[in-house]
Structure 1
Amino acid sequence: MRVEDVESPRAMDRLGLLLARHGGITNERIRHALGVTGLTPRHAVTLMHLAESGPMGQQVLIEALGVDPSVLVSILNDLERDGLAERRRDPADRRRHIVEMTTAGARTLTRVEQALEAVERELFADLDDDEIAQLHRLLSRIKTAPDDPGCTED
């Protein structure tokens, strides 16, 4: 068999490569849009989770975000430095830290949401509401880790 006889799919016919390409472009656009806030996507996701769930234990936040503890410590150090979140000892268990978004964090989150909405409007301009909902459902089902039944964020 000769190399010329082997039929190979075009690179963008490979769904994984197509998804990686669009993911890279989307990531770059989001990073650029978040530049007005000085946050990275990980900072933004952390604030969004705190806004949705309210104050929570640091270990619970690690599990919810699916990040390594050292990564979350770095994220929280940045957010605390900028006055966007705070950690305090749990009065019921002094070994635990409770993480909470500050008022400044909530104001910044409003700017984050606006930046993300602008990127998403541009990215999905050619899709109708039903197609966007379908895309969301499909992407939520993609298995991204060996023990993960699907990805819901990050």
Structure 2
Amino acid sequence: MYDRGSGSSSPSEQTVHLLAAAGKAVDALMTERLRAGGSSPLHRSVLTTLAEWGPHARRDLAAQMDVPLAGVSRVIRDLLAQGLVQDMVVNIGGRHEVVTLTPSGTAALTAMQDDMNAVQDVLLGSLTKGERTQLHYLLRRVCATAARLGPVSSASS
């Protein structure tokens, strides 16, 4: 929880701590919502990736998401059991097994996105529409800069 009176008096240090605290709150709320629905952030990511990029082989899906193949395979087994994805065999330059989203998977992803919107509404409830737009713009710039920097090396610590 944010405590206005604690921490550094340096605005730049406060900003870094506030960004970290906000990120933790978002992760916790999103994970809680997903778990309540029987899913995880990785389940949501697999469904989102399939919705955005189309059918994938498991190995390609893991590479696209930068997640270990074992984790993706475990989630795909869960999603297959729930009828949210299906396996298909494709014969293009050899036999390939690909995973694709089902209509039930698309509906489940829509429900997950509605939950994420509800999390956003809770967290940003005290902001006006204009402030939300401005925050979105600023966070996109911060994230773009972070992406350009790439992984931070612990050697410089």
Normalising by structure 1, report the TM-score: 0.75
Which residues in structure 2 correspond to 1:79-98 (within 5 Å)? 79-92=79-92, 93-94=94-95, 96-98=96-98
Unaligned runs of 5+ in 2: 1-6
Residues in 1 aligned to 2:10 and 2:60: alpha-carbon distance in whole angstroms? 40
Q: Which residue of 2 aligns with 1:135?
A: 139
Greater than 6 Å deviation, 4+ residue runs: none
Which deviations, in whole Å up to 9, do the C-alpha atoms of 1:107-128 show, x marking residues without a partner? 1111111101111122233233
With normalisation by structure 2, the TM-score equals: 0.74
Whether 1:111 and 2:111 are equivalent positions in the alignment is yes
Q: Which deviates the most, 37-46 or 17-26?
A: 17-26
Query: For 1:35-46, what aligned pairs fall within 5 Å after superposition?
Result: 35-46=35-46
Give 1:14 shift: 5.8
Specify the alignment match of 2:78 in structure 1.
Answer: 78
Paired with 2:49 and 2:15, the residues of 1 have a C-alpha distance of 30
Aligned length: 139
Gaps of 5+ in 1: 1-7, 148-154
- Identity of aligned pairs, percent? 22
Question: 1:51-89: CA deviations, max 9, x gaps?
Answer: 111212323211221111111111111111111112233
Q: 1:20-45: CA deviations, max 9, x gaps?
A: 33222111100222234311111111
Greater share of residues in helix: 2
Aligned-pair Cα RMSD in Å: 2.6
